[in-house]
Amino acid sequence: MKEIKVFSRKLILLMLGIIATDVVLGLFIHIIFDKQKSGKYFITTYALNKANQDILIFGNSHAAEHFNTPLMAEKMKLSVFNFGVQGENMLYYYPVIESMLSYHKPKLIILNLDYNELNFNSDDYQRMAIFLPYFHQNKFIDSAIFLMGQKQKYLALSSLYRYNSTVGYILLNSSNKAYNKSYKSLGFDPQYGNTCQSNATTDKENEGNKKQNVKFDELKTRYLLTLIKDIRAAKIPLVITTTPLFTGMGENVHRQKLEQLLKATGVKYWDYINNENFKGKCNLFTDKSHLNKEGADLFTNSIIRQITESKFITSTKAN
């Protein structure tokens, strides 16, 4: 009996030591985490807690790289920020925008969506690991984390687990002086180079027009509809955009689904996929779907004109 008590005592002490180590190291990593100056976690943290600009832009790399927010701020005489994060999707936009709506009312929200935004992709659910460092911040964040599996309710209790895959990224962006995706760049992530000497501009690579198995994601669809409803309830103007493709696009079931859904809601939808100012212009693209800085400037000026003409913001002073 005595041996059992000794073993139990040691086991309890070991467990307490593990918990204490987890908590202390977690606090240390969190301090470093909050000091990031650029990158996806800086963008996400800023969106969840500090967004205060007049115009807010959300989306994936097509938002981050195509909306030149410093140019928008200069020409429109308004504050603007780009919250685009590479590789993300509707499962990410929903909790981020809902979190922002709880503390800020911008003058305009722009949500950039890919033509196949409503497609089901199991990998998109695993990308919700980006929210692990924000566990228990609010119900939207926790729901996003649990999309990876219900066991996350228990695993995320560990600080080390929440930060496990982020340590290298955190250290890099805590000391990084990069302009891209920083406060200085207003979230804009400009790209350089073009496809004029690359085979990336061939029709063969236009995946949007390839035949493929179609499986729509009901949760993404529900999230999009809920966002539209909640943004309208907050009386905030909303524009949804889709940025250009080098080769454009013909009939496509994914695109048709998105167009039909947005048309049914009556939301403003500015689709640039086949815009002639960009289609086939290799000097404006870094690959088949991403604009370079020159292309981003052209696209941004077009967006500024449309915002001005639509009179969403009466104080707009575009050139």
- Displacement of CA 61 from its chain's centroid (Å): 8
pTM greater than the 0.85 cutoff:
yes
Whole-angstrom distance, CA of residue 267 vs CA of residue 310: 13
Please give the structure tokens belonging to residue 66: 């195509």
The pLDDT mean for the chain works out to 88
- Over the stretch 225-244, which tens digit does the pLDDT of each residue have? 999 999 999 999 999 999 99
* 248: Cα within 13 Å, side-chain hemisphere: 10
Whole-angstrom distance, CA of residue 117 vs CA of residue 257: 10
- Over the stretch 254-293, which tens digit does the pLDDT of each residue have? 999 999 999 999 999 999 999 999 999 999 999 999 999 9
Q: Which amino acid is at 168?
A: G
Q: Which amino acid is at 169?
A: Y
- Over the stretch 45-73, which tens digit does the pLDDT of each residue have? 999 999 999 999 999 999 999 999 999 99
Whole-angstrom distance, CA of residue 200 vs CA of residue 207: 11
Domains and CATH numbers, the chain: 34-204+212-310 (3.40.50.1110)
Q: Please compute the mean of the pLDDT values over residues 111-130 and round it to a whole number.
A: 96
Kindly give, in sequence order, each residue whose CB lies less than 8 Å from that of residue 227, ignoring residues fewer than 6 positions away: 93, 94, 97, 98, 111
- Over the stretch 82-91, which tens digit does the pLDDT of each residue have? 999 999 999 9
- Over the stretch 153-210, which tens digit does the pLDDT of each residue have? 889 888 888 887 777 777 666 666 677 788 999 999 999 999 998 755 444 444 444 5
